[in-house]
Amino acid sequence: MSESLQKEVLVEFPADAVAVVRLNRPEATNALSLPLQAQLSQAFTDLAADTRVRCIILTGGEQVFAAGGDIKGLLNADPIEILQRHTELVWAPIQHCPKPVIAAVCGYAFGGGAELAMHCDIILAGEGASFALPEIRIGIMPGIGGTQRLVRAVGKFNAMRLLLTGRPVSAKDAQAMGLVSLVVPDAELMQEALKMAGQIADMPPLAAMQIKEVVLAGVDASLETALMLERKANQLLFATRDQKEGMSAFVEKRKPKFEGR
């Protein structure tokens, strides 16, 4: 089953509990126009509320993930217009999606495309993928979290190299510096993403949500605070039916059936 949100973003359901969100502006190398961003935001809002969905894959085309912002729409923009776009609100449903999100990146993820991938929890890349934050080359800088998420992922010195030169790095180099989770042959990317999404979807969804919430909240907290958050979340999971089902299935040597309760 598939559903089109006015063609620039496609939402597909290729397997039980798995959704694929596909950028669909091939004529513009998936540049992140305002309509595309709005449709992407709505897609993640809907999927977050859909109890049938336990894992989401975000992807683009076979040649390009996303080329970044729509420069033609930015050329004559003034500071107040940029402020009033409130991109932080548009991107919030992706940033705060409670469900695990896998970015499947083929081709290049440049500028806003790289920032979009960094909103996800896991980044899978085809061998031919490349990543760049080239905003400095057109007189601006990343504005959708690129400077902050990148430094947290790869450290100051790697981040500064990418941000100040604007030069791309290959999928293998991105993996070596900690930006990419796994690199696979281009032809196998979606197969691998669907396999991983299926594995995650088979897990207890409340536990997956708590793991994601604690990891993200703990990144900027002190170790003691983060450990406290971890303990509380773990304690909470002992109130779920899935905890009883998972442990009973382990003892009984059978496959568990998790309901998200």
pTM of the full structure: 0.92
pLDDT > 50? residue 21: yes
Per residue in 224-261, pLDDT (tens digit) is 999 999 999 999 999 999 999 999 999 999 999 999 99
Per residue in 49-98, pLDDT (tens digit) is 999 999 999 999 888 999 887 777 777 778 888 888 788 889 999 999 99
Q: What is the mean pLDDT of residues 176-198?
A: 97
As its CATH architecture, domain 2-201 has Alpha-Beta Complex (3.90)
Q: Specify the pairing of strand 55-59 against strand 101-105.
A: parallel
Provide the mean pLDDT of the chain. Answer: 93
In Å, the largest CA–CA distance within the chain is 65
Residues of the chain with CATH 1.10.12: 205-252
Tokens (6 digits) for 159: 């981040």
- What are the φ/ψ torsions at residue 3 (nearest 5 degrees)? -140, 130
Q: Which fold has domain 205-252?
A: Lyase 2-enoyl-coa Hydratase; Chain  A, domain 2 (1.10.12)
Q: Give the pLDDT of residue 7.
A: 87
User: Which percentage of the chain shows pLDDT scores above 70?
Assistant: 97
Per residue in 199-213, pLDDT (tens digit) is 999 999 999 999 999
